[in-house]
Amino acid sequence: MRLEPIANPSLARSFGFPAAALVATVVIASLLAALAGANPLATLGLIVKGAAGSKFAMLETLNRATPLIFTGLAIAVAFRAKLWNIGAEAQLYGGAIVTVILGTSALSGIGAAALPLIALGAMVAGALILLGPVMLKTRFGVDEVVTTLLFNFVMLLLVSYLLEGPMKDPMGMGWPKSAPLDKSLRLPRIDEGLRLHWGFGLALISATLIWFVQTRTTLGYEMRAVGLNPQAARFAGIPVNGVLVKTALLSGGLAALAGFSEVAGLKGHLSLDLSPGFGYTGIIVAMLALLHPLGVVITAIFVAGIFVGSDSMSRAAGVPTYIADMLLALALLLMVLAIGLTKFRVVRG
């Protein structure tokens, strides 16, 4: 058996396989729910209801989608240039640390006008965190998958140290969390009374900007060229290493915005549970979106819906929330397979 590329896949093929992947995901998830002793249809119904069944549920889903849009964009931008940034988690925490440092500093004196400055500071931190691994890659050929991945653990330990030491909240009753941001530095709510904040708006604007950069600017053209064929890009005169560095700065900055948005928009302080793996889930979000920046918004909302819906279903039906992770993993695996099958056909012999 081998794979044979299809030059012009038919429309039925292009949509049929991904649709089949979704159906297969739902079927397997139902079996898993049945294994957990619940009624599969009712379980799925509860997930959908929990994710989108009310205004509250929908806004909660969008809230959860916000950091995923940022990390998904960070991954999509990097992967497009074949820069394998697995360290969005580290960049997220870098952005969060700077947000807290600036947000509890004298900057709070100028009120909400300081927010753009803080966001910029966070982006610089995220960009610098990714710059190191990329310089190692361009100078010495060190594999960035390893270095960016390891940075995640370094950053988590750094955050842990900061929260137990220099950044520990003196009023925190001993909990490892930072002092809260000044009230004037919190991102305003889009919907008063509910939790959705303007970080979501910033995420949508970012996605649109990235889409514009990728399709309408020379930088986007260079990033795609480098990702698709670095040899031809170099031959044509595109400065490959320079493009990789720019890509890294953009990707790291976007991931850091997730940290900024979570601290300034949602939590108000830094703690070790700020991100339940948004940096890693961002990879799933970006891959499901086929690295398209506007697609990232859709898949981030889809993925967030599965998480939020599963939480709510779990409370109601007693099925473990792990089903959310399994659903996502299944969806990703089957979608990758389906996308492969739209481009290749399996041939015997």
Partner 1 sequence: MTSAHPKAQDVVLRLESITKRFGPLVANDAISLTLHRGEVIALLGENGAGKTTLMNILFGQYTADEGNVEVFGHPLPPGNPAAALAAGLGMVHQHFTLADNLSVLDNIQLGTVPLWRMGLGSKAARAKLAKLAADFGLGIDPDALVGTLAVGERQRVEILKALYRDARILILDEPTAILTPQESDALFDTLRRAVATGLSVIFISHKLHEVMALSSRVLVLRHGKLVGEVATRDTDRHALAALMVGAEVTPPSVAPQRPGPALLTLRDLSTPDVGAAPGLKSITLALRAGQITGLAGVSGNGQAALSDLISGLTTPQSGAIEMPDMPDVWSPRTVVAAGIARIPEDRHKTGSIADFSLTENAILETYAQAPFSRNGLLNWAAADAHTRHLIATNDVRCPGPSAPIRQLSGGNMQKLILGRVLEASPKIILANQPVRGLDIGAITYVHKRLLAARNAGAAVLLISEDLDEIMALSDIIHVISEGRISPEFARGTLTAAELGIWMAGIGFADAA
- Residue 218 beta carbon to partner 1: minimum distance, rounded to whole angstroms: 5
Q: Which stretch binds partner 1 (CB under 8 A): 34-42, 150-158, 235-243, 285-293?
A: 235-243
Q: Which is nearer to partner 1, 36 or 238 (CB)?
A: 238
- Binding partner 1 (rule: CB under 8 A), the pick from 171, 193, 231, 347 is 231
The verdict on 339 binding partner 1 (CB under 8 A) reads no
Long-range contacts: 321-324, Cβ < 8 Å, 24+? 323/29, 323/32, 323/33, 323/36, 323/43
User: Which residues does residue 168 pair with via DSSP β-bridges, in sequence order?
Assistant: 178
Q: Which stretch binds partner 1 (CB under 8 A): 9-17, 25-33, 66-74, 233-241?
A: 233-241
Q: Which stretch binds partner 1 (CB under 8 A): 17-25, 165-173, 211-219, 299-307?
A: 211-219
- Binding partner 1 (rule: CB under 8 A), the pick from 36, 201, 221, 337 is 221
The verdict on 209 binding partner 1 (CB under 8 A) reads no
Q: Which stretch binds partner 1 (CB under 8 A): 115-123, 191-199, 215-223, 328-336?
A: 215-223
User: Which residues does residue 315 pair with via DSSP β-bridges, in sequence order?
Assistant: none
> Cβ contacts of residue 78 below 8 Å, gap of 6+?
84, 85, 247, 248, 251
Are 172 and 100 spatial neighbours (Cβ–Cβ below 8 Å)?
no
C-alpha to C-alpha distance for 285 and 296, rounded to whole angstroms: 6
- Binding partner 1 (rule: CB under 8 A), the pick from 232, 329, 336, 346 is 232
DSSP 84: -
The verdict on 294 binding partner 1 (CB under 8 A) reads no
The verdict on 140 binding partner 1 (CB under 8 A) reads no
Hey, what are 326's tokens?
A: 């399994």
The verdict on 55 binding partner 1 (CB under 8 A) reads no
The verdict on 229 binding partner 1 (CB under 8 A) reads yes
Tell me how far the alpha carbon of residue 349 is from its chain's centroid: 41
The verdict on 290 binding partner 1 (CB under 8 A) reads no
Burial 326-341 (b: 16+ CB within 10 A, else e): bbbebbbebbeebbeb
The verdict on 228 binding partner 1 (CB under 8 A) reads yes
3-state secondary structure of 177: strand
The verdict on 345 binding partner 1 (CB under 8 A) reads no
The verdict on 1 binding partner 1 (CB under 8 A) reads no
Task: For residue 282, report the phi and psi dihedrals to the nearest 5 degrees.
Answer: -60, -30
Q: Which is nearer to partner 1, 44 or 291 (CB)?
A: 291
The verdict on 218 binding partner 1 (CB under 8 A) reads yes
**Smallest Cα–Cα separation from 309: which of 37, 92, 45, 65?**
45
Q: Where along the sequence are the contacts to partner 1 (CB under 8 A)?
A: 7-8, 216-221, 224-225, 228-229, 231-237, 349
